Structure 1
Amino acid sequence: PDNVPEQDMMAEHLGKPLTSVPDPFGTHDSFGAHNNARLQAFLDAFGFDYEFKSATECYTSGQFDETLLQILERHDAITGVIKPTLGEERRETYSPFLPVCGKTGRVLLAKIVETKPDAGTVVYEDEDGSLVETPVTGGHCKLQWKADWAMRWTALSVDYEMSGKDLIDSVRLSGRICQILGGEPPEGFTYELFLDENGEKISKSRGNGLSVEEWLEYATPESLALYMYNSPKKAKRLYFDAIPRHVDDYLTHLEKYGDQDEAARLENPVWHIHDGSPPDPEGHVTFGLLLNLVSVCNSEDPAVLWGFITRYAPDATPETAPILDKLVGYAIAYYRDFVKPNKSYRAPTDMERAALDDLVAALNALRADADAETIQTEVYEVGKRHDFEN
């Protein structure tokens, strides 16, 4: 992928399993281990109860061996499922098995010239033209992905699998292979594609989408859960401008929950997001209001923002409103990275400068305990004293 560092180093390892590629980020033993760690960190952050399985370990430890030997025994039946979906040239050489070269460690898209079920091996044509016999077990071969998917379903007794709309045909083919192996294809759910801000399909190699980690830098996990919950069978744009709306939509649903009857609560997304026990709402300060407040104050100091918030909601403090306190931090981060860099300023005209000086003097002359209506009236009077069109 072109959105990771160390491109020259990565190019040297093209064709190898990711667990055999050095980690370009320098944090783990391999690129595969790095990706696995990120997946597990995501699952941990959302409290998933899961058992992690490494495909490399399953191949090399022998956990997949029994199913791999079944695939070898039923090689012709399985290739018969896939070949009609391939072009003429690829159809001539297709096999579900991809030998791993013992010399280079690369996964070879090599022609399989013979299968030997009794020996548990295949014979393939190496890059130098020689014929090589290798076991299909013990990590000496990998599987092409549709067969690999079916093999995992069978070997690991997978009973539920979600997949994107673009994989509908692949699910069907892998399901047929699973049945050939004597397995039962899992129940499935097909979700629509995620699009970038331009309505284009998000590409892992281009990195043109918004990652889960990036979303969580600027908003709560609950807002992301709401984004995922809404319209799973419709294509959705996943980009930064979607964040504020989903934060406020979540707060709105949370506010409504307490006044709803049991049937309506079951239709409320927060019931599902919080496993039937959503927290109490904390007030009526929206994320949009916080973003406007940060922008107007031009401050990244939470204490400054809380000074205004407590004027608006006197009972709210960081201690009594922890959700709101988190939203203050998220609003500052969003302002810092997306609003502030795009702000443009100009020098005031002579008339505007005079009006601003007049406003400062008028506000300084007010009593310290002046209420909001008095302040607003004074601001309005200053505006009337100067020749503004609006």
Structure 2
Amino acid sequence: MDGSRHWADVIADNVTAIRKKHIIATGITPSGNIHIGNLREVVTADAAYRALCDAGIDAKLIYIADTFDPLRKVYPFLPEDYSEHVGKPLYAIPCPCGSCANYAEHYLKPFFRSMEALDIHPVIYRAHELYAEGDFVPAIMTALSNRDKIAAILEKVSHRAVSEEWSPFNVMCEACGRIDTATVQGFDEDNETVDYTCKCGYAGTVPVKGNGKLTWRVDWAARWSILGVTIEPFGKDHATKGGSYDTGIRISREIYNYEPPYPIIYEWVHLKGKGAMSSSTGVTITIEDML
């Protein structure tokens, strides 16, 4: 990279040689306080966006809030009664303070205020709304139809075994509301439905629209084509050999017939003596604190 020029300008040159219109994507799972480590990704995306705009290129900056991701566990900053919500999507869990629409919004609202203060103005998408509106339905049905091919890609690239029960689609159980405890038993391509059984004992059939989400590595590749993403910054963990981006490249090209976005890889932000910042552990400095 030319040391005399800003890195974002060099990236702008690189990507405009590929195409003349760009969508830069960024996003995060709002599992806890969104911190300055998360901000690094957004600022990186915004810098690329501004460089493209300065060069006269048609560009758009988008932010995807992963509100359909489940609560993984009762984090240290949560009361114990949140144990009943483990496994449920973040948008379907009560707000910790009681003043926001849901758990996800509790952490997104201050983050969005901070972006406004920093003059960063992406188009904002909430993942659960994209799924509810049907944007992902074609991608879900394609993934279900290509389950074995996707499983082979995951095993070959990530060197991890994929179980016989694995499905690229996680169903949200109608009974318990969890999105990580059901097993897909079959699907109907014409009616766009899935049959499932859940660990809670319930079994049912639901339309794929709004009733579940693609697994992470498949979801990431699918959203590139759905939203037209051409550039995306992400942390070094996703960029490791056999990581999410490597599998995403194959899934995007071979399943969704879409060229994966230009990657901008960044390092994590650490707190001295505490390690990498993490929303789920509470090791954070929020953007509002910084401002």
Specify the TM-score bucket, using the shorter chain as the normaliser.
0.5 to 0.7
- Could you say which residue in structure 2 is the equivalent of 1:164? 235
Query: Aligned partners of 2:153 and 2:181: how far apart in 1?
Result: 19
Q: For the structure 1 residues 93 and 15, does the alpha-carbon distance in structure 2 shift closer, same or farther, using more than 3 Å as the test?
A: same
Give the whole-Å Cα distance in 2 for the aligned partners of 1:86 and 1:33: 36
Show the counterpart of 1:221.
none
**The structure with more radius of gyration:** 1
Q: Does 1:70 align with 2:142?
A: yes
1:181 and 1:43 map into 2 onto residues whose CA distance is 32
1:191 aligns with 2:250: no
4+ runs deviating over 4 angstroms: 128-131
Contact 1:120–1:135 (8 Å) recurs in 2:
yes
CA contact (8 A) 1:134 1:140 kept: yes
- 2:170 equivalent among 81, 94, 98: 98
* Aligned CA distance change for structure 1 residues 94 and 203 (closer, same or farther; 3 Å): same
Q: Select which of 237, 241, 250 maps to 1:176.
A: 250
Alignment of 1:224-263 (within 5 A): none
Deviations 1:335-362 (A, max 9, x none): xxxxxxxxxxxxxxxxxxxxxxxxxxxx
Q: Which residue pairs with 1:203 in the alignment?
A: 278
Unaligned runs of at least 5 residues, structure 2: 1-73
Measured after TM superposition, the shift of residue 125 of structure 1 is 2.6
TM-score for both structures, normalised by structure 2: 0.66
Query: Hey, what does 1:234 align to over in structure 2?
Result: none
Q: Which runs of 5+ in 1 are unaligned?
A: 217-390
Match of 1:39 among 87, 111, 127: 111
From the two aligned structures, give the one with the greater helix fraction.
1
The number of equivalent residue pairs is 213
Q: Is the 8 A contact 1:81 1:176 kept in 2?
A: yes
Distance in 2 of aligned mates of 1:116 and 1:80: 22
Partners of 2:251 and 2:289 in 1: CA distance: 38
Secondary structure of 2:229's counterpart equals coil
Check conservation: 2:230, 2:261, Cα contact below 8 A: yes
Structure with higher RCO (Cα < 8 A, 6+ apart): 2
Matched, 1:151 2:225: no
Residue number in structure 2 paired with 1:8: 80
Secondary structure in 1 matching 2:276 = coil
Structure with more strand by fraction: 2
C-alpha change, 1:131 and 1:25, in structure 2 (3 Å) is: closer
The answer to whether the 8 A contact 1:69-1:117 is kept is yes
CA shift at 1:131, angstroms? 4.6
Aligned to 1:212: 287
The DSSP-based 3-state class of the residue aligned with 1:142 is: strand
Q: What RMSD over aligned residues (CA atoms) do the two structures have, in Å?
A: 2.2
Percent of pairs with identical residues: 30
Q: Deviations over 1:251-305 (max 9, x none)?
A: xxxxxxxxxxxxxxxxxxxxxxxxxxxxxxxxxxxxxxxxxxxxxxxxxxxxxxx
> Map of 1:300-379 to 2, 5 A cutoff?
none
Could you tell me how far 1:82 is from its partner in structure 2?
1.9
3-state SS in 1 of match to 2:182 = coil
* TM-score, with structure 1 as normaliser: 0.51
